[in-house]
């Protein structure tokens, strides 16, 4: 069992199923993942056949936009592999490298460049060609996989902590502990004002620390009704994450025990049993009375409207750490769509950047914030507490805006 420290701050304990290092490790992982879930019926059951199956259908889908890429396969080829590409990429195939070496040449000086999409498909169909971002995204799309790929980052994270929830909230957003403490003092503990002040300041993102950990980037290729498979990509090699592993709360106890030099791997993992929000909060939404500002047609009544409002705010602000979204809704909306409201928002229009609501502003100006690590809002118990805060206020007045924070 190993642990992955994600960019969101979660520490994920996982068990890996290694795949053969033969250039087809991605396909080995997909087949192993499908077979472990007893859902492989209808799919090729060996790596060579699966590779050919996907390449054949990729050829037929060359002009279709692929989710997870936001472009067509032909556009991806032009961007990455064509002679006109800004930084031209090449394919990796061990058999090709052996041929180059056999000619007395250096493979690094004679990489496998492809000149058109058909040539790309020819080489991608060969057993030893490593997959690229296009093949990964297309496999997730065409096989209807809810796929997540974790890639080791090039940087390390400094592990800072604080017993003060407001300080930890700012640390989780990327600000250093010292800067967070200083600005919170200046703003008398007002987190929203502190964030605005920090964004205007030229402050370091983190402070030096002796304990460091590689950060893993989480790249989702979501499919709501898809088969869930998670894999890691480390040094060009894919390994399957054995299903049913749970993300661990990245608490200070776990952090320092794990990050100490030569720390032993934990021998016992406790699965997190997180209760759902009680139905008592969702009963009889029609009985609630409100004082509204403006006509009722301005109220948000479905998640698509809420999503679009947040999307407009991001488009205007270019993916800030934290931004305000003017959006009005009442307790009826909260009761019916609480799961969407307290879940993470994946913006497919911007390569699946992720945000989460971290505070609400009421009609009378009352501020209802979440106190704690933003990453912990993935836990049902934390959602329950945050829901209760909002539920108590929304009985007598509407929400008029929310603040969303980046999870990327």
Query: In this structure, are 243 and 103 located in the same domain?
Result: yes
Q: What is the mean pLDDT of the chain?
A: 78
Query: In this structure, are 23 and 144 located in the same domain?
Result: yes
Query: In this structure, are 80 and 220 located in the same domain?
Result: yes
- pLDDT tops 90 at residue 126: yes
Cβ-based neighbours of 359, under 8 Å, separated by 6 or more? 191, 192, 367, 368, 369, 370, 402, 403
Confidence class for position 203, pLDDT limits 50, 70, 90: low
Give the residue with greater pLDDT, 72 vs 162.
72
CATH at 247: 3.90.70.80
Convert the pLDDT of each residue in 157-169 to its tens digit. Answer: 445 677 787 887 7
Convert the pLDDT of each residue in 270-322 to its tens digit. Answer: 333 333 433 333 333 333 333 333 333 479 999 999 999 998 888 766 777 77
- How does strand 212-221 pair with strand 2-6? parallel
Query: Is 197 within a domain?
Result: yes
Segment among 174-188, 322-336, 381-395 with least mean pLDDT? 174-188
Query: In this structure, are 356 and 289 located in the same domain?
Result: yes
Q: What is the average per-residue pLDDT within 237-245? A: 82
Query: Is 101 within a domain?
Result: yes
Convert the pLDDT of each residue in 6-65 to its tens digit. Answer: 877 787 888 999 999 889 999 999 999 888 665 444 567 889 999 999 999 999 999 999
pLDDT at 45: 80
CA distance 354 to 133: 19
Query: In this structure, are 18 and 50 located in the same domain?
Result: yes
CB atoms inside a 10 Å sphere around CB 341: 22
pLDDT at 346: 86
CA distance 230 to 149: 6
pLDDT at 49: 92
Task: Check: CB of residue 339 under 8 Å from CB of residue 345.
Answer: no
Query: In this structure, are 104 and 227 located in the same domain?
Result: yes
- pLDDT tops 90 at residue 357: yes
Confidence class for position 154, pLDDT limits 50, 70, 90: low
Nearest to 194 by CA among 210, 173, 214, 212: 173
CB atoms inside a 10 Å sphere around CB 314: 20
Query: Is 123 within a domain?
Result: yes
What range does the domain containing 174 cover?
160-208
Q: Please give the torsion angle defined by the CA atoms of residues 35, 37, 42 and 44, in that order, rounded to the nearest 10 degrees.
A: -30
Query: Is 268 within a domain?
Result: no
Domains contained in the chain, number: 3
- pLDDT tops 50 at residue 205: no
CA distance 239 to 244: 15
Query: In this structure, are 96 and 231 located in the same domain?
Result: yes
Query: In this structure, are 292 and 385 located in the same domain?
Result: yes
Query: Is 265 within a domain?
Result: no
Confidence class for position 375, pLDDT limits 50, 70, 90: confident
Query: In this structure, are 117 and 187 located in the same domain?
Result: no
Query: In this structure, are 373 and 358 located in the same domain?
Result: yes
Give the residue with greater pLDDT, 341 vs 207.
341
Query: In this structure, are 223 and 340 located in the same domain?
Result: no
Query: In this structure, are 204 and 218 located in the same domain?
Result: no
Region label for 129, one of left (φ > 0), alpha (ψ between -120 and 50) or beta (otherwise): beta
Confirm whether pTM is higher than 0.75: no
Question: What string of DSSP letters covers 69-130?
Answer: TTB-HHHHHHHHTSTT-TT---B-BHHHHHHHHHTT--TTTS-B---SHHHHHHHHTSTTBP
Question: What string of DSSP letters covers 216-234?
Answer: EEEEEE--TTSEEEEEEEE
């Amino acid at each position: 069992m190993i642990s992955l420290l994600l960019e969101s701050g979660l520490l994920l304990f996982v068990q890996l199923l290694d795949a053969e290092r033969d250039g087809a490790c991605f396909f080995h992982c997909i087949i192993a993942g499908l077979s472990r879930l007893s859902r492989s019926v209808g799919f090729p059951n060996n790596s060579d056949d699966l590779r050919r199956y996907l390449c054949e259908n990729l050829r037929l889908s060359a002009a279709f936009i692929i989710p997870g890429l936001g472009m067509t396969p032909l556009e991806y080829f032009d961007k990455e592999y064509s002679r006109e590409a800004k930084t031209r990429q090449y394919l990796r195939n061990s058999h090709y490298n052996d041929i180059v070496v056999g000619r007395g040449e250096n493979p690094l000086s004679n990489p496998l460049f492809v000149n058109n999409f058909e040539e790309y498909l020819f080489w991608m169909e060969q057993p030893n060609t490593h997959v690229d971002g296009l093949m990964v995204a297309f496999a997730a799309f065409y096989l209807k996989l809810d796929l997540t790929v974790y890639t080791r980052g090039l940087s390390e994270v400094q592990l800072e902590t604080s017993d003060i929830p407001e300080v930890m909230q700012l640390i989780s957003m990327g600000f250093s502990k010292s800067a967070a403490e200083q600005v919170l003092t200046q703003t008398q503990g007002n987190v929203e004002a502190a964030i605005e002040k920090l964004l205007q300041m030229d402050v370091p993102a983190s402070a030096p620390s002796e304990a460091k950990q590689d950060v893993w980037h989480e790249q989702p290729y979501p499919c709501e009704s898809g088969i869930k498979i998670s894999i890691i990509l480390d040094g060009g090699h894919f390994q399957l994450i054995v299903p049913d592993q749970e993300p661990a709360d990245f608490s200070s106890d776990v952090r320092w025990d794990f990050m100490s030099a030569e720390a032993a791997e934990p021998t016992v993992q406790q699965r997190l049993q997180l209760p759902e929000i009680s139905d008592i909060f969702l009963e009889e939404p029609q009985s609630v009375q409100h004082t509204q500002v403006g006509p009722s047609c301005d109220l948000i009544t479905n998640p698509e409207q809420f999503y679009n409002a947040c999307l407009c705010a991001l488009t205007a602000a270019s993916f800030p750490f934290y931004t305000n979204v003017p959006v009005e809704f009442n307790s009826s909306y909260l009761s019916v769509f609480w799961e969407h409201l307290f879940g993470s928002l994946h913006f497919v229009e911007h390569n699946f950047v992720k945000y989460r609501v971290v505070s609400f502003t009421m009609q009378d100006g009352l501020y209802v914030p979440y106190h704690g690590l933003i990453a912990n809002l993935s836990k049902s118990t934390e959602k329950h507490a945050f829901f209760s805060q909002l539920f108590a206020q929304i009985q007598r007045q509407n929400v008029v805006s929310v603040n969303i924070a980046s999870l990327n």
